[in-house]
Structure 1
Amino acid sequence: MLTHAQRKTFLKFPDLDEGTLHLHYTLSKPELEWVMEKHGDASRLGYAVHLKIMQHLVRDPETLEIPAYVIQHVAAQLQLPPSLYQDYRSGKQVTLKQHRQDLKRKLGFTSCKQLELYRDFSTFLKPHALQLCTGFPLMALLVDEMRNRKVIWSKIGPLEMTVHQLLDWAEKHTQDLLLVGLGEEGQRQIENLLRPHKSSDDTEYQLLGWFREKHLDANPKSITSLLDKLHFLQQMGLPWEALKLIPRSRQEAMFRESRFLHAQQLRQMEKRKRWSTVLLILMDVTVQITDQVFDLHAKIMQAQLRNCRNKYLEDLQDTQLGLADRLAIHQKVGRVLIEARKQGEDPFKGIDQVVEWDTYVKSVDAVTELTRHTEFDSLSLMARRLEHFQQYSGKLLSHFRFGATAADTPFLDAIEVVKELGKDPDMQVPEDAPLDFVAGRWSKFVVQDGKVNPAYYELCLLDTLTRKLHAGDIHLERSRKYRHFEDYLLPRDTWRIHLKQHPLMVAEDFSVYWENQMKRLSTQLTEVDLKLGQDELQDVRMEAGKMVVSRNRRDITVSGKAKRLGKRLYGMIPTIKITDIMLEVDTWTDYQKHFQHFALSKTIEDVQELYSVILAEGTNLSLRKMAHATNPVNFKRLAFVRECFVREETFRAAQAELVNFHTKLPIAQLWGDGEHSASDGQRFLAAQKASDTGTFNRRYGREPGVTFYTHVSDQYSPFYTKVIASNERDALHILDGLLYHQSDLRITEHTTDTHGFTEAVFALLNLLGFRFTPRIRDLKHLKIFVPDRRKKYPTLSSVVGGGYDRSLVARHWEDILRLVTSIKSGHVTASVILRKLSSFRRRNSLLAALIEVGRIYRTRFMLDWWSDPAMRRVVQRNLNKGELFHDLKKAVFCHGRGEVRDDSLFSQERRAGGLNFLTSLISTWNARYLQAAVKELRSQGEKIDDEVLSHISPLRFEHIVFSGDYVWRQDLLPPEGQLRPLVGMMEAAD
């Protein structure tokens, strides 16, 4: 149930800093008296060490590998040599047993057997088992609660069994909740969904597959089809009320697990599990379809508005073609009129002499038309497109139950008006119909000559509906994107319970928090203002009222040395096929054990089939082509392996194994401490035509694509990746990688480029305990904010933008803490809540308060940026490390023209996981061979500067063969514990 790394976390002795060591391992006077009662120095030292360990960890000391510094600390207090502890451990077992029993009695500890564990702790842990879904956090809670109750443990097996029983109970309890109202008719309906559909020639096509079909084309037909599916699902009476009794985190986990299950796999399940899983799939599909309906509607609306604007510009251009000739006519007529007035003559004779009267009349009409176009609004063309929307709008508005904020309740009445208009084409808009939502350009079209135009009333409402859904003013009940904002957060009456379980890094009391922040900020401002005035800020100067930062020249010099050394080291590394890298790294890490069957939790028998699927995913090769390119293997067999063993979560677990191995390499310590990271997105073209989907991107136009957003540690380990839409801002997804990776990395500081920076992100990262240090392109144009506007900072005055709204933050402090706790506890995914917050209009007071907090941290960051050149170098280097992965990924993703051809998000996530995994394999393999090359050169007496070595990347790939036949030659692996010979060397041992 636990991975090897997770199990090790609980079994190993924790790392102690000096403060913790003194706090928990200093003997009190009564404890010294207990120790001195023992006979012999060895017994006294051993008894004292075990006393403090049991007191601190509530563990059996005999099962732990105790660090020497702990023994030394206790021995120093007794003035005894630490070596006596080994004498104690190798002494009589009777003495050790007696001491253990004596300590348990004095400390009030008890032991607990397997049956007692479940009996005594299940009441406490069952609510958490429903919430957590996975073993590791539940195990942590069990260990903490055992410590609180003074229940000592020695072996982890019984604890794992208890956690397994609890998770099994949680799964069955969830099934019971979902099936409580399912009768025989409902059971028959579910079974029918899994049978081949009679109307299809495809014997594998089921109604369940029909529900899951994606509708990517933005047109009325797609929306109508989706609404038909929703109507069908509505008739099934799905257990929505029961779903509310299941914690949100478990809901999302169950939804994720069910998305890749096919009918054949479902038919093989035990019937109660099958029924509950199908119900989950149908509810998840309902939510997905609901969101897709309004996403497609938004695309249709955007496309029609854009088409009207383009048509208007075309008409205007056509009208302007004869503009020069018409202006010449009016110039001539104007001269005639001026001269006729001067002379007192009849102007018409003069006009007849310069232009024919009919030509002049046509010219005036043309200019009138041109004038009309210059005052024109492209919305005037929308009325003729109403029929396009009415193919689905009535069905759309009638199917959903909308909710609204108090201020937007009239909009719900407007929806009812439009629904009635749809029933009677001749009906006029009632005089008391709500008009509050009509604003901007729509106003002059909706209300014309004091009357409401029905067509424009409906068009305006359909356009406004999209914007209000995104802004959170209108919400839907069964939606993931558009549900009520309160539903994203922990309930107001229980969130503080979660806060105790997931404490934050800031004071709960607002006054304490604010005073601490303002005090630290004032100190920073004073220091930077003084140093700037004395020209003591390295590479920083004030220029035209803006702070300008120059690049450090020393970095350029070191970079040149690193290039020369890197070329030499890589010249020693042997040429190798990607297949051999995969085989060799697996012998180091055993990563294949993490690719377990989704239902049976067992590993694959033929590991070469697994390798082939991973390689196909990572190199963008189809499974059919992989079946031809690798050792003789059946395509259907590879498809089975992919569906059952290779998923986003299995890639994550295997990725964590690689990261943990990579982090422990000595050379990795030169690249960084593993506490810093950077993230960036890399865009890949998509084979799908965007013109069919209605997608338009400001940065990339109509060229379709997806972005793989990756987090990389300062040790060149890509520890997290996810697929995001190319038109989404990177900032929404930063926290996901920091919170949801499964490796042993403990990131404390994170870096992005400008696209990852918003003030809301500044606030959330810092409140969650991460320091945020983005590289902001136009930093010199940003202003800082000060605690007290009355206090002057002479040299910084030109970059001061204002003060803080303390009262605003104070009013929303509890909601801010609830928001952050909801993220930290896993109740809501960070990217989901950030996307929702970013869609709010500025008038949302919670977002405004969060931005105000973000300004505090952004100001502190800017002051650090100006005053700390070392930080600037670290930020730049970490971003460079992330960007270096882009070239490697392009090389690895070599098939299919490097285009993403998967149409489902699940398949794209699996593709991204495979690509990230292969790049991680390469980084780890290169790192170990670079380490061997350095060791070889140093053994020959060469001096290699660690600082120069720290600038050499393990991401070069000229020596790696990515294409050709993929043959798995395990017989060519180097002997255990050895590496392949370096170029020019007979042998290179690690």
Structure 2
Amino acid sequence: MPRRTILTERQREKLFDLPTDEPSLLRHYILSDEDLRHIRQRRRARNRLGFALQLCAFRYPGRLLQPGEMIPRSMLAFVGAQIGVAAEELAEYGARSETRYQHSTALQQLYGYRPFEGQVRANMLIWLKEAAEKSKTNELLAAEFLAELRRRHVIVPAASTVERCCADALVAAERTIVARITGRIDPQSRVRLLSLLSETVDGRITRFVWLRQFEVGSNSNDMNSLLDRLDFLRKLAINIGTLDDIPPFRVTGLRRQGERYSADGMRDLPENRRLAILAACVVEWSAMLADVAVETHDRIVGKLYRACERKRDELLQAERASISDTLKMLSRFGDALITAHEEQDDLGLAITEGGGWELLRQTVAQAAALTGKVSADPLEFVTDGYARFRRYAPRFLEILTFRGGRGADSLLEALEMLRRLNRRGHRTLPVNAPLDFARAKWRKRILKDGKPDRQVWEIGILFELRNALRSGDIWLADSRRYREISTALVPIETVSETARLAVPLEADDWLRQRSQILKRGMTQIECATRAGILAGGAIIDGKLQIDRLEKATPEEAAALVLKLYESMPLVRITDILIEVDEKLHFTDAFTDLRTGIACGDRIGIMTVLLADGVNLGLRKMADASDTHTFWELLRIGKWHVREETTARALAMIVEAQSKLPMARFWGDGTTSSSDGQHFPAGSTGEALNVVNARYGNEPGLSAYSHVSDQYAPYSTQVIPATAHEAPYILDGLLQNDTGRQIREHYADTGGFTDHVFAICSVLGFRFAPRIRDLPDKRIYVPAINEVPPVLQPMIGGRINIRLIRENWPDILRLAASMAAGTVVPSQILRKLAAYPRQNSLAVALSARFAKAGQLFRQFPDNSVRRLPETLSGLCRNPQRSERSGVSSARSSCSTG
């Protein structure tokens, strides 16, 4: 039987209840002159009020008023004030049921409202069936259905009818999608897919379960295990077109179901649904395995490079005594020569007295040998890792198909030659082997005695492949994370539809505006400097000097905080969870993966959340609980607690917290800050390449959190300890509703990059990171001859206007894609920042000219900075960044 109840009580109230808040009343219930004319035709005051209320209910939420329904007092007062009728008159309205009916009929005739029946119903159900395929949640589908009913002037039926129609449409949509997928699977592929549930690996687990057991590895054994699975999936030959025109969230849902079902559970499903899940899993796992294999290769390369660095450091440590002795000897000879020169004595005699020419020759030779060791590059030792590459690299290059742009031609040519050599088993390298892919430090090591070294050449290819995949110069066709950048961006035709963009669509318009602002700002700075009134600092001899930010928090604050904590009553965390859920119903966000229905077990959901929050684990939590067993908690966690459901629940709590009176004393919710917190992990971090030197040699992960000025943590991401924090700033700002409301965002020095500055400016965020060594930075301008003399020493060069203009469409596409959610900001920003020597878009976002001998740094507000803010704009309000949790505003900049 199809499911009939798809909404919670709170969701029904939200969709069907009459509004009570002022913004909704103003939006929906302002009566026009025509409305008032129709209303005044009713003879009695109570009838005028009842007629007006029915009209308002028709418009929003779009339904009939029910006999005896309690009308919210705020709505009564709002509507009554417009028609000059007191709310008390409603008590006698509808004493005759015929009056209510006659008014309803008159409204339908006057305004064209139609009941939900006959052909109207049939047409709406057709629309609903199509919408159900694209709707991500049950609540969203019901809301869209009601909005479409209102748009077509169709009277919204009872809530039970709406739920039943939506439920039927969801079931039909699921069956349609399953049938569409299975209809594209040929009989041979069906057999191969179904065999995954019966065939076993090593007689232990089914092939289906074996295929889904993969994660990023750190060595050749891990890589070969991944390649075994990827090779097996490729041999299944399931056409990727099987999932064409299936909404991505539907594909993801099918894949996640496959990852949660056991093989026995899959066998119990209807065959069509079983095949659809298997097909989605095979296609999705193929792409995911390709990504994981690339990341594993990345870690192996990084692990080898760190091993080479350690070997170089060990070599230096072993030569420490020799270095000391050699320096002492050279110092002795040097002192003797200097003394002889000053006293005009014989230099040869001084050398003889210092130890003799032979000792000097030996010392100089020893110094030359040590100089080579001191300046040794870690790449000198890379051939030590050749064997580990050979254990997987031939398969890695054969199974994965790499593509690239024109800038990657040489590397692709080298990859193809390496494949041919591997297939034929040739160990020697042809003299015409491509070398253009190699940078100078690689080329001089590859060419030994004029002949290319096969081992160094092959390792150099694998190192450069890693860099090119990171930057996007080379990509995989069947990948999610490493696909071609241009295919991930929205078409240029749709950019104008992105309301988030805060810049003109024409580059010249924007460049003209920013140039004028910059010129005006430089003039202001010049005048303030000459008058000695530059707030918060000064420019002395061409050097920016910033005043130290005084501590703004009084000493008594700490004592007050402790006193407030002491006055707080002790409350059990479980009681807090239950009380908050009774008010917000945040557990409604934890919907079933397949049906989208909210979990009915509130206590079970909160038990799973608590087990995760205190890191106790489900088994120990079950032992401590007298309400749920381990298997019950496991089922709830498996099917209801996911990243997106947790994010929805957090959004509900953040939204409610922002409406509390106390939150408004802290801020208006339009500014925020972000920072990372390091958490130690297990002892395998060195092997997994997750060690951050800042936190010592202990492995770990970082939690990167965004907190609003109302102290609401609206986004938290777990990121590798080795990752740069800056790319994740835009993830938090763009991937949830709270972040999109932010207008000014603060970050520490880890968030300061040109690319984040640029994208924030295009999207209308004021970005204010702390900037390390701000006085040493240099500013780039459109025209150097327009810079006032007092600021000339602070100018680093001229902005590449041509490059910005040429790449402006792609800059807009990039920002629009981030705003639309078609790309994850952190992923694409990491690509742009990884290896930008051939990526014109990355260079355009920084808009730089590389000039030898100059400090190459710019403050980009997409390449043009407002100088007053660069130097001292924040200094005029020294408390500004303190309230957002980021101190030292005077060492910050913000885009305008």
The residue that corresponds to 1:755 in the other structure is: 750
Give distance in 1, aligned partners of 2:536 and 2:455.
62
Q: Secondary structure at the match of 2:879?
A: helix
Q: Distance in 1 between matches of 2:378 and 2:727?
A: 34
Partners of 1:332 and 1:771 in 2: how far apart? 61
Report whether the alignment pairs 1:503 with 2:499: yes
Name the structure 1 match of 2:209.
209
Is 2:578 the partner of 1:578?
Answer: no
Query: Which deviates further from its counterpart, 396-405 or 652-661?
Result: 652-661
| Preserved CA contact (<8 Å) 2:705 2:715 | yes
Aligned equivalents of 2:126 and 2:117: distance in 1? Answer: 14
Residues 302-343 of structure 1: CA deviation (Å, up to 9, x unaligned): 33333334334444554564467678999999999xx9xxxx
* AA in 1 matched with 2:883: R
Q: CA deviation at 1:215?
A: 5.5
Between the aligned partners of 2:355 and 2:255, the Cα distance in structure 1 is 80
- 1:697 aligns with 692
Which one scores higher on RCO, CA 8 angstroms, separation ≥ 6?
1
For the residues of structure 2 that align with 1:41 and 1:868, how far apart are their CA atoms?
A: 59
- Indicate the SS of the match to 1:659: helix
Q: Which residue of 2 aligns with 1:182?
A: 185
Contact persistence 2:521–2:867 (CA under 8 A): no
Does residue 556 (structure 1) correspond to residue 553 (structure 2)? The answer is yes
Identical counterparts, % of pairs? 28
Distance 2:129 2:227 in 1: 42
The answer to whether the Cα contact below 8 Å between 1:784 and 1:862 also exists between their aligned partners in 2 is no
- Alpha-carbon RMSD across the aligned residues, in angstroms, is 4.9
What is the CA deviation profile of residues 336-365 of structure 1, one whole-angstrom value per residue up to 9, with x for unaligned ones?
9xx9xxxxxxx9xx99x98999x9999898
* 2:544 match: 546
1:420 alignment counterpart: 420
Tell me the CA shift for residue 689 of structure 1: 1.3
Correspondence for 2:885: 879
Which sits farther off after the overlay, 82-91 or 176-185? 82-91
Alpha carbons of 1:743 and 1:509: their partners in 2 closer, same or farther (altered >3 Å)? closer
Letter in 1 for 2:861: R
Q: Please state if 1:855 is matched with 2:858.
A: no
Q: Deviations over 1:270-292 (max 9, x none)?
A: 33222222232233322222222
1:642 corresponding residue in structure 2? 637
Q: How does 1:443-842 map to 2 (within 5 A)?
A: 443-491=443-491, 495=494, 500=497, 503-506=499-502, 509-510=505-506, 539=536, 542=539, 545-546=543-544, 548=546, 550-551=548-549, 555-557=552-554, 560=556, 562-599=557-594, 609-631=604-626, 634-741=629-736, 746-779=741-774, 781-782=776-777, 807-842=802-837
The whole-number CA distance in structure 2 between the counterparts of 1:4 and 1:459 is 62
In structure 1, list runs of 5 or more residues that go unmatched: 340-346, 882-990
Q: Which amino acid aligns with 1:620?
A: N
Task: Compute the displacement of 1:232 (Å).
Answer: 1.1
State the distance in 1 between where 2:389 and 2:719 align: 29
Q: Which amino acid aligns with 2:553?
A: I
Q: Report the Cα offset of residue 488 of structure 1.
A: 1.7
**Residues 507 and 153 of structure 1, relative CA distance in 2, 3 Å threshold:** farther
Q: Are residues 284 and 701 of structure 1, via their aligned partners in 2, closer, same or farther at CA, if it must alter by over 3 Å?
A: farther
8 Å CA contact 1:220, 1:389 repeated in 2: yes
Deviations 1:762-781 (A, max 9, x none): 44345445444444455555
Q: Secondary structure at the match of 2:861?
A: helix
2:746 touches 2:886 (CA, 8 Å); kept in 1?
A: no
Q: CA deviation at 1:442?
A: 0.9
Matches within 5 A, 1:149-298: 149-151=152-154, 153=156, 158-159=161-162, 161-195=164-198, 197=200, 199-200=202-203, 205-214=205-214, 217-252=217-252, 254-256=254-256, 258-298=258-298
Inter-partner Cα distance in structure 1 for 2:293 and 2:151: 50
Give the TM-score normalised by structure 1: 0.73
Distance 1:333 1:748 in 2: 63
Change (3 A) 1:43 1:767: farther
Separation in 1, partners of 2:121, 2:251: 27
Change (3 A) 1:703 1:107: same
CA contact (8 A) 1:785 1:856 kept: no
SS at match of 2:410: helix
Q: Please tell me the residue identity of whatever aligns with 1:284.
A: E
What secondary structure is seen at the aligned counterpart in 1 of 2:695? coil
* Deviation for aligned residue 1:235: 1.1
TM score, norm. by length of structure 2: 0.80
Asked if structure 2 preserves the Cα contact closer than 8 Å seen for 1:13 and 1:65, the reply is: no
SS at match of 1:415: helix
Q: Give the whole-Å Cα distance in 1 for the aligned partners of 2:280 and 2:578.
A: 39
- Structure 1 residues 754 and 416: alpha-carbon distance in aligned structure 2, compared to 1, 3 A threshold: same
Change (3 A) 1:271 1:305: same
Shift of 1:577: 3.6
- Letter paired with 1:878: S
* Secondary structure at the counterpart of residue 396 of structure 2: helix
Shift of 1:405: 0.4
Task: Note if contact 2:536-2:876 (Cα within 8 Å) is conserved in structure 1.
Answer: no
* Separation of aligned partners in 2, 1:53 and 1:851: 54
User: In the alignment, residue 194 of structure 1 is paired with which amino acid?
Assistant: L
Q: How does 1:888-907 map to 2 (within 5 A)?
A: none
CA shift in 2, pair 1:374/1:521, >3 Å = closer
Q: Is the alpha carbon distance of 1:91 and 1:199 closer, same or farther for their aligned partners in structure 2, counting shifts above 3 Å?
A: same
Mark the runs of 5 or more structure 2 residues left unpaired by the alignment: 1-5, 341-347, 848-858, 888-896
Using a 3 Å threshold, how does the CA distance of structure 1 residues 707 and 613 change in structure 2: closer, same or farther?
Answer: same
Q: Which residue of 2 aligns with 1:397?
A: 397
What one-letter code is carried by the residue in structure 2 that aligns with 1:879? G
Which segment drifts farther, 482-491 or 788-797? 788-797
Compared CA separation, residues 217 and 677, structure 1 to 2 (3 A): same
| Amino acid corresponding to residue 199 of structure 1 in structure 2 | D
The verdict on how the C-alpha distance between 1:858 and 1:149 changes in structure 2, with shifts beyond 3 A counting, is farther
CA offsets 1:426-453 (integer angstroms, 9 cap, x no match):
5543344322102221111222344333
User: Match of 1:442, SS?
Assistant: helix
Which position in structure 1 is the counterpart of 2:123?
119
Cα distance in 2, alignment partners of residues 572 and 389 from structure 1: 63
